[in-house]
Amino acid sequence: MRQKYHVLYGIVCAGLAVVFAAAVIASASDDGPPSSGQIAFAQEVSDLMLNELLAALFQEFNETTPQNVEHGKQAISLIFNNLNRNMRLVGTFAPLLGGANDRPSDGFERTALAQALTGQPYTAVQKVNDTWLYRRSVPLSNTFHPNCVLCHTNFTADFFSSTNNPGQWVGTLILGVPIKSSAAEEQ
């Protein structure tokens, strides 16, 4: 009888070891880079997100007048809330309405801003804090809307001439879309 329990105990231990090993292997496979399909999905989400943000920004720009500039500044600041790291306005030219939060915060954002100031977009797939992200930068120009200068009064012809910036590039809109793992997509 005692031998029967030893055999049963051994089988249970071996079974638990197999289950544990399978869980470790499955977990490790989620740490690998995302597939091209997962990246394409995140890129499509980024496209939708960009369209919605641009629509909101242009609506705000259209409604901002010299009489309600302060309201417009606050509205934009609420859209680009400092706590939301998935969408950010990044630049270095004052006034940065979000303060230090509007400065580049990592290598991607520094490269993205450098590219944006020459009118070039930038994308990357990166792991940030254990989450894979599709990251995208959209260059912003002072020429996108005439009301930009209502809030950014320093963006004058003299300013762009002195900075040798004929495209009037002022910063970048950065989007970060989490890329779901295969296991998360199946749920």
pLDDT of residue 137: 97
Q: Tell me how far the alpha carbon of residue 88 is from its chain's centroid.
A: 7
Q: Which two tokens stand for residue 26?
A: 């499955």
Q: Tell me which residue of 147, 170, 157 sits closest to 67, measured CA to CA.
A: 147
Say if CB 155 and CB 170 are below 8 A apart. Answer: yes
pLDDT of residue 132: 96
Residue spans per domain, the chain: 1-30, 34-186
Which helix (H) or strand (E) segment holds residue 63: the answer is: helix 36-63
pLDDT of residue 26: 44
pLDDT of residue 186: 45
pLDDT of residue 38: 96
**What spatial distance separates the first Cα and last Cα of the chain, rounded to whole Å?**
45
For domain 34-186, give the CATH number.
3.30.450
Looking at the chain, how many residues does it have? 187
pLDDT of residue 14: 54
Residue written as token pair 């230090």: 100
Tell me the pLDDT of the chain (187 aa) as tens digits.
666 655 555 554 455 454 444 444 444 445 789 999 999 999 999 999 999 999 988 898 899 899 998 888 888 888 887 778 899 888 877 765 555 557 888 999 999 999 999 999 999 999 999 999 999 999 999 888 888 888 888 888 898 888 888 889 999 999 999 998 754 444 4
